[in-house]
Amino acid sequence: MEVNLQGLIVHATEVVFRAKTSVKPGESLLNHPLTGLARTKSGTGCVKSAEMTDTTASAETSPAPTVFQRIKRLLPYFGQQRWSWVTGILATVVAAVTEPLIPALFQPLLDKGFSKGALPLWSVPVAVMGIFAIRGAAHFVSQYSLTRIANDGMQLLRSAMFERLMRADLAVFSKESASALSNTIVYEVQSGAGQLVSAMIGLSRDGFSLLALVGYLLFLNWKLTLVVFLVTPGVAWIMKVLSKRLYRLTREGQNATDDLAYVVEENVLAFKMVRLHGAQQSQINRFEKLSDRLRGLAIRSTIASASMSPLTQLLAAVALSLVLMIALLQSQNGGQGATVGGFVAFITAMLMLIAPIKRLADVANPITRGLAALERGLQLMENVSSETQGAYAPKPSEGHASGVIEWINTSVQFHPDAAPAVNGISLTIQPGESVAFVGSSGSGKTTLANLLPRFVLPSQGQVLIDGRDVAEWQLTALREQMAMVSQDVVMLNDTVAANVALGQAVNEDQVNACLEAANLSEHIARLPQGMHTLLGHNATQLSGGQRQRLAIARALYKNAPILILDEATSALDNESERLVQEALQRLMKGRTTLIIAHRLSTIEHADRVVVMAHGCIVEQGSHQALLALGGVYARLHHKGDSALV
């Protein structure tokens, strides 16, 4: 039942589009503007990944998909509500059938009611009110059903897109801006579904009404009706040309919107730097240039969409004039439609064609914009690959990993023509050992640590935890083994408790214990709602030291065997650093700890210090041993913290 219904939906949509666009049977709708399924070309807007380029290239060489295959892409999201589809289609058909009943009343009313008085008076109001009551109820049911389908489909598509983003390969976050991704998932889907639902309601209502009225006209006078059909090729040509232009302008407008949003995002994130360098006016000029481009595209789109209605109405007026002339000639010759009632019924039905034709001409605009918007969501689903992972996960009875970490001849090279960020490193860290990594900026410290949670993948070599390659681990199980505290603390717009227990159920007693161990419990207790207080955007109401300690409380709550401290105390004042250092000592106890620091005070208590330069290990040993060696570490220590930056 479900398969047949989906096929019926697809077939009906294809028939309607071919009827509206004069596409011949067997001709592909792949690049037709009304379908919104044209291939996109790289070169404007968001940065396209190599994977997206390869996908497009392979699509150009493969056979063009049929319209069924293209529409089938949306069926998993918009084709699941089968009873809503059945109800909506039936209600639309019922509403369409009532359209010709209104002009049909004029023939007996004029021929029998006024001239002969043969109609009962009660029958007229009963017929009129009955027709409008049935039509109103049918319109309500069809609109509700189609709106339900669109909103349910929008929710499914948006949820699938966000879920794909949460499991996406990390490369996508360096290739696409945050504003472009959020715009696609939130606004493009909302806009596309909203425009499509209005278009679908109009298309179904006016399409069936048009068929019903044309059928009634053929019944009354097939010769006059053929005259009406003379304007159909002209209307189809106008819609085809203008819709193609409108689709192109819509895609350019989407890219221009992304560019404009990215400028806003950059200046919101870098507001201090922009003001420090007095760059406000240059950024305003940059914004106005992009805004002016977007305004120009919007005006050109309006010209294209607004031209459809007057041009189609002009052709309709030509048809109306011809019909009136021929009808008068038939009346004078005593031909078909010679009665006053028949003539009035025909003219009324023909005039009623103008409104649905006008609305069907306008429906190309929301269809084009809606499908173009949803197409971006589908591209995100298809072109963003998920993170690769293995199948290994420790059994619940085994608990956490012991914390043995090994790098075996590990190298990382981000670009083929660039020097390796990590170059052939072999290193072993024992359970519970704290190891500090030092070196100038760009020496590979952070890259080496990011290999553990697979935020970075090795170009060669292996990274092992408890003797097992991290590539063999399930990502969830792997990342359960480690916690991270960095200088750039990220907090969600949620409660204190939810941020501490991120990804786990909230246990208030455990949250309190972690806050106390992080030297933050007193401050949180003074907040209006304690641990249930909303932190706002990235917890900006807290100081830098308080946010660091909140991140430490989060790591304590996770209770992972491996801890990564990435510049956790840099850029803090002395008092804040003291409180953070106390909390860190509690956090590090009994855990395998990797310390990446720019301050020597955080390194001196480490069990081992590893000195890195140009992606290689140049020295390693205890703090005192390296000082006594008088090598690279001793020189860095002599120069102070500035040498590590």
**Which of 325, 354, 383 marks a domain boundary?**
383
**What pLDDT does 9 receive?**
37
Give the integer Cα–Cα distance in Å for 284 and 281.
5
**What pLDDT does 411 receive?**
94
What CATH number has the domain bearing residue 365? 1.20.1560.10
174 and 258 share a domain?
Answer: yes
Q: How confident is the model at residue 601 (pLDDT cuts 50, 70, 90)?
A: low
563 and 617 share a domain?
Answer: yes
**What pLDDT does 116 receive?**
57
Give the integer Cα–Cα distance in Å for 472 and 455.
15
**What pLDDT does 334 receive?**
58
How is residue 496 written in tokens? Answer: 């204190």
Residue 611 lies in a domain: yes
**What pLDDT does 14 receive?**
42
Q: Locate tokens 């703090």: which residue?
A: 623
592 and 455 share a domain?
Answer: yes
3-class SS at 146? Answer: helix
Other Cβ atoms less than 10 A from the Cβ of 202: the count is 18
Give the integer Cα–Cα distance in Å for 175 and 168.
12
Q: How confident is the model at residue 458 (pLDDT cuts 50, 70, 90)?
A: very high
Query: How much is the average pLDDT of 37-52?
Result: 34
Q: Is the pLDDT of residue 338 over 80?
A: no
Q: Is the pLDDT of residue 400 over 90?
A: no
76 and 118 share a domain?
Answer: yes
Look up residue 198 and give its amino acid.
Answer: S
**Which of 383, 414, 437 marks a domain boundary?**
383
Q: Is the pLDDT of residue 13 over 50?
A: no
422 and 493 share a domain?
Answer: yes
421 and 475 share a domain?
Answer: yes
**What pLDDT does 118 receive?**
63
Residue 244 lies in a domain: yes
Q: How confident is the model at residue 429 (pLDDT cuts 50, 70, 90)?
A: very high
Residue 558 lies in a domain: yes
Q: Is the pLDDT of residue 396 over 90?
A: no
447 and 325 share a domain?
Answer: no
Query: How much is the average pLDDT of 242-270?
Result: 79
What is the total count of domains within the chain?
2
Q: How confident is the model at residue 645 (pLDDT cuts 50, 70, 90)?
A: very low
Query: How much is the average pLDDT of 198-222?
Result: 81
First to last CA, the chain: 67
219 and 276 share a domain?
Answer: yes
Parallel, antiparallel, or unpaired for β 562-566 and 482-486? Answer: parallel
Query: How much is the average pLDDT of 224-244?
Result: 74
Q: Do residues 407 and 594 make contact, with C-beta atoms less than 8 angstroms apart?
A: no
Residue 167 lies in a domain: yes
Query: How much is the average pLDDT of 600-627?
Result: 87
Residue 391 lies in a domain: no
Residue 389 lies in a domain: no
What are residue 427's phi and psi, to 5 degrees?
A: -160, 145
Give the HSE-up count for residue 48: Cα atoms under 13 Å, Cβ half-sphere. Answer: 17
**What pLDDT does 332 receive?**
67
Q: How confident is the model at residue 425 (pLDDT cuts 50, 70, 90)?
A: very high
Q: How confident is the model at residue 641 (pLDDT cuts 50, 70, 90)?
A: low
298 and 418 share a domain?
Answer: no
> How far, rounded to the nearest angstrom, does the alpha carbon of residue 225 sit from its chain's CA centroid?
47
**What pLDDT does 71 receive?**
61
**Which of 357, 383, 409 marks a domain boundary?**
383
Q: How confident is the model at residue 199 (pLDDT cuts 50, 70, 90)?
A: confident
Question: Positive or negative, the Cα torsion across 327, 330, 336, 341?
Answer: positive
368 and 414 share a domain?
Answer: no
Q: Is the pLDDT of residue 464 over 90?
A: yes
Q: Is the pLDDT of residue 194 over 50?
A: yes
Q: How confident is the model at residue 10 (pLDDT cuts 50, 70, 90)?
A: very low
Q: Is the pLDDT of residue 5 over 50?
A: no
Q: Among 7-16, 134-143, 354-363, 416-425, whose mean pLDDT is lowest? A: 7-16
Q: What is the pLDDT of residues 541-580, one digit of tens each?
A: 788 788 888 888 888 898 889 999 887 665 566 666 677 7
Which structural domain, as residue segments, surrounds residue 264?
2-383
Helix axis angle, 82-98 relative to 2-21, nearest 10°? Answer: 40
**What pLDDT does 433 receive?**
92
How is residue 605 written in tokens? Answer: 């208590």
73 and 183 share a domain?
Answer: yes
369 and 419 share a domain?
Answer: no
Q: What residues are paired with 422 via a beta bridge?
A: 412
Q: How confident is the model at residue 431 (pLDDT cuts 50, 70, 90)?
A: very high
Q: Among 292-301, 361-370, 393-402, 590-599, whose mean pLDDT is lowest? A: 361-370
Other Cβ atoms less than 10 A from the Cβ of 640: the count is 10
Q: What is the pLDDT of residues 166-180, one digit of tens each?
A: 888 777 777 777 777
Q: Is the pLDDT of residue 267 over 70?
A: yes
Q: What is the pLDDT of residues 348-378, one digit of tens each?
A: 887 787 778 767 766 767 777 777 777 777 8
- CA-closest candidate to residue 481, choices 550, 394, 566, 391: 394
Q: What is the pLDDT of residues 465-520, one digit of tens each?
A: 999 999 999 988 998 898 888 877 888 888 899 889 988 888 999 999 998 888 88
Q: Is the pLDDT of residue 598 over 90?
A: no
Residue 559 lies in a domain: yes
Give the integer Cα–Cα distance in Å for 7 and 82.
12
Q: What is the pLDDT of residues 65-81, one digit of tens each?
A: 444 555 667 778 887 88
> Using CA atoms in the order 332, 337, 339, 344, what is the torsion angle rounded to 10 degrees?
-110
Give the integer Cα–Cα distance in Å for 483 and 12.
54
Helix axis angle, 123-166 relative to 189-220, nearest 10°? Answer: 150
Query: How much is the average pLDDT of 586-603?
Result: 80
Q: How confident is the model at residue 18 (pLDDT cuts 50, 70, 90)?
A: very low
Q: Is the pLDDT of residue 60 over 70?
A: no
Of residues 414 and 323, more confidently modeled: 414
Instruction: Using a cut of 0.75, tell me whether the model's pTM lies above it.
Output: no
DSSP, residue by residue, 255-324 = HHHHHHHHHHHHHHHTHHHHHHTT-HHHHHHHHHHHHHHHHHHHHHHHHHHHTHHHHHHHHHHHHHHHHH
Residue 396 lies in a domain: no
Helix axis angle, 308-332 relative to 340-362, nearest 10°? Answer: 170
What CATH number has the domain bearing residue 572? 3.40.50.300
